Structure 1
Amino acid sequence: MPHGSMRLILLLPLLLATGCQNDETVAAYGGGTGLWQLIEIDGKTFPARATLGFPEPGRIAGAAPCNAYSGPMTAPYPWFDAGDIAVTRRACPELAAETAFFDALTSMTLAEIAGDTLILSTPDGREMVFTRSQP
Structure 2
Amino acid sequence: MTKLPLAAAALATLLAACSTSDETLSGFTDPETVWTLTELDGAAFAERMSLQFPEPGRIAGQAPCNRFSGALTVPYPWFGTSPLAATLMACPDLEAERAVLEALGAMTEAEVSGPVLILRNSDLGREMVFKAEGQT
The two structures have a TM-score, normalised by structure 2, of 0.89
Say if 1:82 and 1:108, in contact at 8 Å, map to a contact too: no
Q: Deviations over 1:2-53 (max 9, x none)?
A: 7544433332222111111111222222353410000111101112100000
Contact 2:29 2:53 (C-alpha < 8 Å) held by counterparts: no
Q: Which runs of 4+ in 1 moved over 6 A?
A: none
- Residue 31 and residue 76 in structure 1: after superposition, are their counterparts in 2 closer, same or farther (change >3 A)? farther
Q: Give the aligned residue type for 2:74.
A: A
Moved more, 116-125 or 30-39: 30-39
Q: Distance in 2 between matches of 1:86 and 1:38?
A: 19
Percent of residue pairs identical:
46
Q: 2:85 is matched by which residue type in structure 1?
A: A
Corresponding residue SS for 1:49:
coil
* Corresponding position of 1:108: 107
Matches of 1:127 and 1:12, distance apart in 2: 42
- Correspondence for 1:129: 129
* Distance in 1 of aligned mates of 2:73 and 2:20: 12
2:83 matched residue in structure 1 = 84
What residue in structure 2 maps to residue 37 of structure 1?
36
Distance 2:87 2:6 in 1: 51
Contact 2:27/2:57 (8 A) holds in 1: no
CA RMSD in angstroms, aligned pairs only: 1.8
Do the aligned partners of 1:37 and 1:132 also contact (CA within 8 Å) in 2? yes
Structure 2 Cα separation of the partners of residues 10 and 24 of structure 1: 24
Question: How many residues in Structure 1 have an aligned counterpart in Structure 2?
Answer: 134
User: Residue 15 and residue 58 in structure 1: after superposition, are their counterparts in 2 closer, same or farther (change >3 A)?
Assistant: same
Are the aligned partners of 1:61 and 1:68 in contact in 2 as well (CA < 8 Å)? yes
Of residues 98-107 and 73-82 in structure 1, the stretch that sits farther from structure 2 once superposed is 73-82
Give the Å deviation of 1:128.
Answer: 0.3
Q: CA deviation at 1:73?
A: 1.4
Q: Distance in 1 between matches of 2:104 and 2:18?
A: 29
Question: How far 1:123 sits from its partner (Å)?
Answer: 2.4
